[in-house]
Amino acid sequence: MQPPASTTSPTVQDWIGRQLSHYSLLDAFKKRRSRRFGMGMKIEAGPFIYASQHPSQPLTEDEEAALAFAACGITGYALADLAYGQGQGGHMLDGLIGRTISSPDAINAVSIVVTNDEATYLLKRPQDFPYSEIPALIELSQQGKLTELYQRMRVKISEGRVTVPVQPGYNFNINKWSVYAPGSSYFLPINDLTVSYINALLEAFDPTMGLYILDERNLFQPAGIAKFAKSHGGHLDDDADGNRILTVQGLEASLAEAVAVEQGMALQNLGLMTELLGLGGFSNYARNEFGWFEALGFRMQSMLSSDYVGAGWVLTLLLRLMGKDFPFPYAVGLERNQQVLLHGYCPPYYPSMKVAVESFVTSKFGSNGIYRKGAETSAWQSPEKVSSHIEPPSQVAIDATCAYCDYIFKRYGRFPAYSAPFRTVIAYQATHVDTDFYKQFFKPEALSQTQLEHIEIHPPAK
């Protein structure tokens, strides 16, 4: 068993510190590779039949902390250098704290779960901390105290490693031999779509944008916003020639892609940090509508297939008579010890979508909101002066957003309509490389100097 972090050899700690301080970003770009074969692994068939001669060796806490920092570490204040005048969209920004990865509108919609042989943790996002704790976290980051920062950011959600099955439906055969291997640390990004969705709608329904959304699964009827159309005396542009008409599917697909880009940055950073530390690692498939969430103990709900397609009563009855109205489980939040760690801006955490939207607006513009009390923790020299000139969304935008979100939830039984509030897509697994495997089968350049140095500084466990 790997000793706890407090007894890790100072030589290893010093080497990690040197790498973090001096390793070239250009070298990380050039040398980064997926190196899947770690200590304790085995390939049983094909041209690379091999059984590791070393026992599995967990990452040290210092190594895991450096990877966690790369994936989502809190680094400082977002500059929020935007135009905040009327109709210029600056108030769309939803956060004033920066991480190692960029996030559309500084929402920080991606959470990271870390699971290893000993425990499973959720890493808290900036918005999960009280404003008063942020300066201390940033100071730890600036001083390079990544292990202490990691300890402050993580919340244990389970003893031991959490996994899902490796059979088709949960993963692909290409990953079966290596994924969730003992000794590995597994980083699972979780994407929250609800915050980005509501935030985007508030801007889309602003009078200066006036976008109009149709529901393609309901004969392209307005998605609950007909009374806001210009043709009905409202402010949303429903002119087919105006290039301001979207569909529900088109909008939700764009939002899912935007959040997935944020996740992709976390995965890229994990790959670069893995190379810097001389570890092995690779990205792998983790897309399942419910598998990971059930395994992690999320609060689950379900919807019927008739709800998903927005079927009328005739089709719903037909589906049920045929035994085809299947339930689909999905996650809505994560709770531990009577504390809500993650939740979507949707029921059951709010009594209605209207309340969810209004609560989101309050989180930005209420007295304790990001642009009010939260502005004290910002990069601005005169936070009160700046924030006093930042106005909330217009009331008509809020009303249209409430009407749209209420329509989606009532017609399709959840929010968003096409996807669950939370999604997993791709994850990252880090290990200690078995250099003997690569020396036997691959050319010398398969291992960079960092892997060779790492094995000298941190030899395999006996």
- Residue 293's identity, in one-letter code, is F
First to last CA, the chain: 10
For 40-71, the pLDDT digits (tens) are 999 999 999 999 999 999 999 999 999 999 99
pLDDT along the chain (462 residues), means of 10: 44 84 94 97 97 96 97 96 91 95 95 98 97 96 96 97 91 94 98 97 96 95 98 95 94 96 97 97 93 96 80 76 82 95 97 98 96 94 93 96 97 93 97 97 96 87 72
Q: Please return the burial class of 430, using the count of CB atoms within 10 Å of its CB with bins 0-12, 13-18 and 19+.
A: buried
Distance CA 457, CA 14 (A): 10
Question: In the prediction, which pLDDT does 2 show?
Answer: 43
What is the rounded distance in angstroms from the CA atom of residue 414 to the CA atom of residue 330?
A: 9
Per-residue buried b or exposed e for 322-357, using 16+ beta carbons within 10 Å of the residue's own CB:
eeebeebebbbbbeeeeeebbbbbbbebbeebbebb
List b or e across 269-294, with b for residues whose CB sees 16 or more CB atoms inside 10 angstroms. Answer: bbbbbbbbbbbbbbbbebebebbbbe
- Local structure of 128: helix, strand or coil: helix
pLDDT tens by residue, 200-235: 999 999 999 999 999 999 999 999 999 999 999 999
**pLDDT at site 10:** 52
pTM > 0.85: yes
- Tell me if residue 303 falls in helix, strand or coil: strand
Answer yes or no: are the C-beta atoms of 210 and 400 closer than 8 Å: no
Give the contacts of 371 (CB within 8 A, at least 6 positions apart): 91, 364, 365, 387, 390
Question: What pLDDT is stored for residue 310 in this prediction?
Answer: 72
Return all residues near 355 (Cβ < 8 A) that are at least 6 apart: none
Q: Within 10 A of 181 (CB to CB), how many other CB atoms are there?
A: 21
Instruction: Quickly tell me which residue has 């036997």 as its tokens.
Output: 440
Q: Which residues pair with 300 in a beta bridge?
A: 331
- Domains of the chain and CATH, by start: 9-457 (3.40.109.10)
Q: How far is CA 18 from CA 179, 234, 460, in A?
A: 30, 62, 21
What H or E segment, with its residue span, contains residue 146? helix 146-153
